């Protein structure tokens, strides 16, 4: 799976990381629904850090399409409330 983080780049994720991504996505969704900005930002940063550390960053000339595009790291709670669906950002 190729994940694009807006304003950063693309990362190729191995299947083994998907379960942890879903767990963090669920935690982010719960924080968004509760309107808890600090908790949301903590969860979202952990999600992005997992992508950065477990994913292989693609070179700029790698033109493969993204399977998933995530908002930028500085997304606000208000923006997240409109971006996150009832199922989070990462499809099952």
Residue 85 has pLDDT above 70, yes or no: no
Band (27; pLDDT cuts 50, 70, 90): very high
- Domain extent listing, the chain: 2-83
Element counts in the chain: helices (H) and strands (E): 3, 4
Q: Note the pLDDT tens digit of each residue in 45-80.
A: 999 999 999 999 999 899 889 999 999 999 999 999
Q: Note the pLDDT tens digit of each residue in 9-19.
A: 999 999 889 89
30-48 average pLDDT score:
95
Task: Report the greatest alpha carbon distance in the chain.
Answer: 40
């Amino acid at each position: 799976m190729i994940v694009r983080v807006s304003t950063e780049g693309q990362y190729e994720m191995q299947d083994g990381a998907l379960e942890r991504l879903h767990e963090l996505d669920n935690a982010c969704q719960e924080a968004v629904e509760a309107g808890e900005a600090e908790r949301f930002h903590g969860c979202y940063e952990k999600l992005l850090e997992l992508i950065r550390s477990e994913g292989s960053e693609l070179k700029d000339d790698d033109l493969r399409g993204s399977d998933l595009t995530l908002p930028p790291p500085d997304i606000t709670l208000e923006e997240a409330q409109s971006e996150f669906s009832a199922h989070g950002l990462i499809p099952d």
